[in-house]
């Protein structure tokens, strides 16, 4: 790959972010000699982002740290359509009220990673509903739609894969790439934005925006994509057996977020340190040489540094200490996920499998029963041997809680009041 001179592209390459780039030599010269503005779009399909969004967020952070201006584009408009990229089926259509509520919730995530304000390199948050909601259909088709070839659109992976799998692709979704391209041109006009970044599955949409900018505004625009992150097992980053790994603490407590990173596969530790922490390269290289049980030190550091960026240093340290107390010392980590229960409910006993489900340690009662039958369920660090075992007030331990464990790494505290 081209040897970059700009701090931004040098750093992005060395840390493993870059998958592809349009006209890299010219973009590098521009980023070397001036402060550029770049953006990444985030649709508001949920009230939180998950760790699958961390690579683009970290890339925006790197852009700002190297003297450039990041734009966070929230898709108040495009969320109404739904991006077909990488999807096997259409997304559920959300109401405007739901979309706005989601935007209000995810704003705080960006504020943890980026500095917002009025200075030249301060980040700004822009909502594409500002221009998309006001478009007139016929003028939009004449002025913008005529620049798009249906033949080429059908060849893009986001469309082709859906058609090959015989999964329905609505006309609404088919328009998504046109709207994303229009977003780029609009930001170029109003904010002098020269760079769009995104995952490698967005390459076709990004290139379409570059071409649209050249055709209707005679502007030279650039695109940069990141690798789609998968784990050593081949699974998509951000998904676990328990569900998405959310970035909002209301969805996922900091302790569980810390545990997600602590459970990283040995072969992923160095790569994830480069992508999701700001540890120096030399320090990461030293941790990559660790083997056997020593690699656990690197995993704990990865977990603490990643959690500190997302939830703050204090929460990260508390999670680390709680994990040490829970695992190394065999005690109660008081930062473990907690749920309340009326002591009255325990008088006659509650089936253990019911409490495992209520604590979020199993998705259903049947799953909890299977966990108990397989020997993977513990009550106060003691294995539960009976599938229909009852939990009562007698199980409240000396710390005043009931500790439930699913396997070796997932725990919850029951607080009886």
Which residue, of 277, 305, 327, is where some domain finishes?
Answer: 327
Please report the pLDDT score of residue 112 as a whole number.
96
Please report the pLDDT score of residue 241 as a whole number.
53
Identify the CA nearest to 51 among candidates 124, 118, 109: 109
Answer for the pair 220, 209: CB distance below 8 angstroms, yes or no: no
In a domain, 343, yes or no: yes
Answer for the pair 132, 181: CB distance below 8 angstroms, yes or no: no
Please report the pLDDT score of residue 2 as a whole number.
67
The verdict on 406 and 261 lying in the same domain is no
Distance CA 368, CA 311 (A): 30
The helix (run of H) or strand (run of E) holding residue 263 is none
Please report the pLDDT score of residue 240 as a whole number.
58
The helix (run of H) or strand (run of E) holding residue 105 is helix 96-113
In a domain, 246, yes or no: no
Answer for the pair 68, 119: CB distance below 8 angstroms, yes or no: no
The verdict on 43 and 176 lying in the same domain is yes
Distance CA 262, CA 333 (A): 15
Please report the pLDDT score of residue 359 as a whole number.
80
Q: Domain total for the chain?
A: 3
* Residue 210 dihedral angles phi and psi, to the nearest 5°: -60, -45
Identify the CA nearest to 81 among candidates 73, 91, 89, 72: 91
Task: Give the β-pairing of 402-406 and 377-379.
Answer: antiparallel
The verdict on 342 and 408 lying in the same domain is yes
The verdict on 12 and 85 lying in the same domain is yes
- Sorted by sequence, the CB contacts under 8 Å of residue 82 that are 6+ apart come out as 43, 45, 90, 91, 93, 172, 173, 176
Domain region containing 323: 253-327
Distance CA 273, CA 172 (A): 39
Q: Which residues of the chain have a pLDDT value below 70?
A: 1-2, 82-91, 155, 158, 161-162, 165, 168, 170-172, 238-242, 326-337, 339, 398-400, 416-417
319 token code pair: 């999670």
The verdict on 262 and 378 lying in the same domain is no
E strands within 195-292?
Answer: 195-199, 222-226, 239-240, 243-244
Residue count of the chain: 417
The verdict on 40 and 92 lying in the same domain is yes
The verdict on 153 and 299 lying in the same domain is no
In a domain, 248, yes or no: no
Distance CA 285, CA 348 (A): 56
Measured in Å, how far apart are the chain's first and last C-alpha atoms?
61
Please report the pLDDT score of residue 206 as a whole number.
95
Answer for the pair 177, 204: CB distance below 8 angstroms, yes or no: yes
In a domain, 235, yes or no: no
CATH code assigned at 342: 3.10.290.10
In a domain, 152, yes or no: yes
Please report the pLDDT score of residue 22 as a whole number.
96
Q: How many CB atoms lie within 10 A of CB 146?
A: 10
Please report the pLDDT score of residue 88 as a whole number.
47
Distance CA 284, CA 351 (A): 47
Which residue, of 191, 226, 261, is where some domain finishes?
Answer: 226
User: 0.85 cut: is pTM over it?
Assistant: no
203-217 vs 176-191: helix axis angle to the nearest 10? 50
CATH code assigned at 153: 3.40.50.620
In a domain, 1, yes or no: no
Please report the pLDDT score of residue 117 as a whole number.
94
Mind giving me the DSSP string for 38-57? EEEEEE-SSSS-BGGGHHHH
pLDDT in tens, 340-361: 777 777 777 888 888 888 887 8
The verdict on 342 and 267 lying in the same domain is no
In a domain, 247, yes or no: no
In a domain, 241, yes or no: no
The verdict on 63 and 178 lying in the same domain is yes
Distance CA 32, CA 187 (A): 22
The verdict on 323 and 344 lying in the same domain is no
Rounded alpha-carbon distances, angstroms, from residue 149 to 120, 234, 295 = 38, 34, 51
CATH code assigned at 291: 1.10.240.10
Please report the pLDDT score of residue 1 as a whole number.
55
Which residue, of 275, 293, 327, is where some domain finishes?
Answer: 327
Q: Which residue has the tokens 């320090």?
A: 283
Please report the pLDDT score of residue 142 as a whole number.
75
The verdict on 220 and 354 lying in the same domain is no
| DSSP code, position 328 | I
The verdict on 274 and 168 lying in the same domain is no
The DSSP bridge partners found for residue 243 are 240
Identify the CA nearest to 115 among candidates 59, 74, 48, 65: 65
């Amino acid at each position: 790959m081209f040897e970059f001179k700009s701090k931004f592209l040098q750093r992005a390459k060395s840390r493993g972010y870059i998958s592809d780039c349009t006209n890299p030599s010219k973009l590098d010269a521009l980023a070397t000699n001036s402060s550029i503005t770049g953006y990444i779009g985030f649709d508001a399909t949920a009230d939180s982002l998950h760790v699958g969004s961390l690579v683009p967020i970290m890339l925006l952070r790197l852009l700002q740290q190297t003297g450039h201006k990041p734009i966070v584009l929230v898709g108040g408009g495009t969320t109404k359509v739904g991006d077909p990229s990488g999807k096997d089926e259409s997304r559920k259509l959300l109401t405007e009220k739901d979309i706005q509520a989601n935007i209000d919730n995810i704003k705080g995530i960006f504020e943890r990673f980026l500095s917002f304000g009025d200075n030249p390199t301060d980040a700004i948050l822009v909502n594409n509903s500002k221009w998309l909601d006001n478009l007139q259909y016929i003028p939009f088709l004449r002025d913008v739609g005529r620049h798009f070839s249906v033949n080429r659109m059908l060849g893009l992976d986001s469309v082709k894969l859906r058609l090959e799998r015989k999964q329905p692709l609505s006309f609404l979704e088919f328009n998504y790439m046109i709207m994303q391209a229009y977003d780029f041109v609009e930001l170029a006009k109003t904010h002098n934005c020269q760079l769009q970044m995104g995952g490698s599955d967005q390459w076709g949409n990004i290139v379409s925006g570059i071409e649209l900018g050249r055709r209707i505004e005679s502007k030279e625009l650039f695109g940069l994509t990141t690798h789609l992150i998968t784990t050593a097992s081949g699974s998509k980053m951000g998904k676990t057996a328990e569900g998405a790994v959310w970035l909002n603490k209301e969805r996922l407590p900091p302790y569980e977020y810390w545990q997600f990173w602590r459970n990283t596969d040995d072969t992923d530790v160095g790569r994830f340190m480069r992508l999701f922490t700001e540890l120096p390269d030399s320090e990461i290289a030293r941790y990559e040489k660790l083997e056997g049980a020593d690699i656990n030190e690197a995993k704990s550091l990865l977990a603490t540094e990643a959690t500190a960026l997302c939830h703050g240093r204090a929460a990260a340290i508390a999670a680390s200490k709680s994990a040490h107390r829970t695992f190394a010392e065999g005690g109660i980590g008081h930062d473990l996920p907690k749920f309340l229960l009326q002591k009255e409910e325990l008088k006659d006993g509650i089936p253990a499998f019911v409490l495992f489900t209520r604590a979020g340690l199993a998705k259903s009662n049947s799953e909890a029963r299977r966990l108990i039958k397989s020997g993977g369920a513990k009550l106060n660090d003691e294995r539960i041997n009976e599938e229909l075992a009852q939990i009562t007030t007698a199980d409240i331990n000396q710390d005043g809680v009931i500790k439930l464990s699913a396997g070796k790494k997932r725990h919850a505290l029951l607080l009886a009041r």
